Structure 1
């Protein structure tokens, strides 16, 4: 019986230390000091980071379902989608190059997949099937290069810095499209709300886990999706 408890304790410790450093495991589960401020910050940051990543897996699904169901991308600015995709991809590549923990940037991977899918669908439902597949091929090639380690860090940092301009521009373009059409078309309100909420939470986790001032400033502008409405 005692042996089984040791096995369970060891497994539990291993699982906890996948997320928290060993010192925090000791503070929380051996010293029972659940109010240790440094470890509490780490735990909150990791929890929020994992939550954001899990949420990002589905965050744009309402948008994708809405487009697929109507077989139309009416009201969605393709240029706005592409600018947003560039911004997301820059964060993904910059974070990987800096070896930041996955919990600090993982949502960028899933958002890139979903955003590129929306761009693909915009082209397909506009009758541009060849362009749609070409778009995916070009994007895959660019991401391979950015993630290969061959891209100079100063180039990745410049791309990351341009995120502020890209994000604001993409949302202003979408807002202009909505205003011109007189409606939001196939734009999903649920997706916009979830992206905005996730951006606010990511500010804390970025400060806590990376200390990267550039990335923090970029994320401060992420709540701009709300201007689309």
Structure 2
């Protein structure tokens, strides 16, 4: 939030309040900041529909554990990298809130699969990873880790995509959560290109995430009827 009212942005607001929209750079910056605020606020509950759906069903059917573990790792690296680079908080704040919600989902998935002890080790390991990366990892290695986020996000979502095709349905995946993921990731691509456009590692990571989010959202729509049949059968059993 410290960069929300930076001098350049204040000057842009002054220009736009006079209805002078000729300065496209100012206009892009204001739009980017507005989107970033929206992304952050939306991220506070982006996974809430998924959490509630798993909790109410008492099952994590169709929800990939490996996806949430890998996504958590990717977001942890993303937060640490941006913190140490001093990037505007609003350009990555959602990574932290999604990380926390992923940890909650992992706990529920392990809880409903009667493997509660795994939840403790998994969540504890993720927190330990973030702490170690922030305090002990060399800056040059941290750059390499940020580049790996693109591969991590791909590796996290591909198993979920393949599992959906294999099952012929999307189980307990929440349409609202994935719709918000697509909306948020598309907006984040724009804000990254506007505010941290020189950092291609971050940009490629967001582009990859957006593309894979779209695929999963399309799967939810395509398998909608099959999913309803599969989940109804599970409730009867």
Q: Does 1:180 align with 2:173?
A: no
> What's the CA shift for 1:84?
1.4
Contact 2:32-2:194 within 8 A present in 1 as well: yes
- Post-superposition Cα deviations, 1:172-213, rounded to whole Å, max 9, x if no partner, equal 201222233332111112111211121111111012111211
Note closer, same or farther for the CA distance 1:64–1:18 as it changes in structure 2 (3 Å cut). farther
| Worse overlay, 16-25 or 125-134 | 16-25
TM-score by structure 1 length?
0.85
> What's the CA shift for 1:35?
3.9
Residues 1-229 of structure 1 mapped to structure 2, 5 A cutoff:
17=5, 21-29=9-17, 33-148=20-135, 150-211=136-197, 212-223=199-210, 224-228=212-216, 229=219
Contact 1:28-1:34 within 8 A present in 2 as well: yes
Unmatched 5+ stretches in structure 1:
1-15
> What's the CA shift for 1:225?
2.1
TM-score by structure 2 length?
0.82
> What's the CA shift for 1:167?
1.6
Contact 2:16-2:27 within 8 A present in 1 as well: no
Runs of 4+ in 1 over 4 A off after TM superposition: none
Contact 1:87-1:167 within 8 A present in 2 as well: yes
> What's the CA shift for 1:45?
0.7
SS in 2 for 1:50: helix
Q: Measure the CA separation in 2 of the matches of 1:200 and 1:153.
A: 28
- Post-superposition Cα deviations, 1:42-67, rounded to whole Å, max 9, x if no partner, equal 10110011111111111111100000
Equivalenced residue count is: 212
RMSD: 1.9
Q: Measure the CA separation in 2 of the matches of 1:54 and 1:77.
A: 25
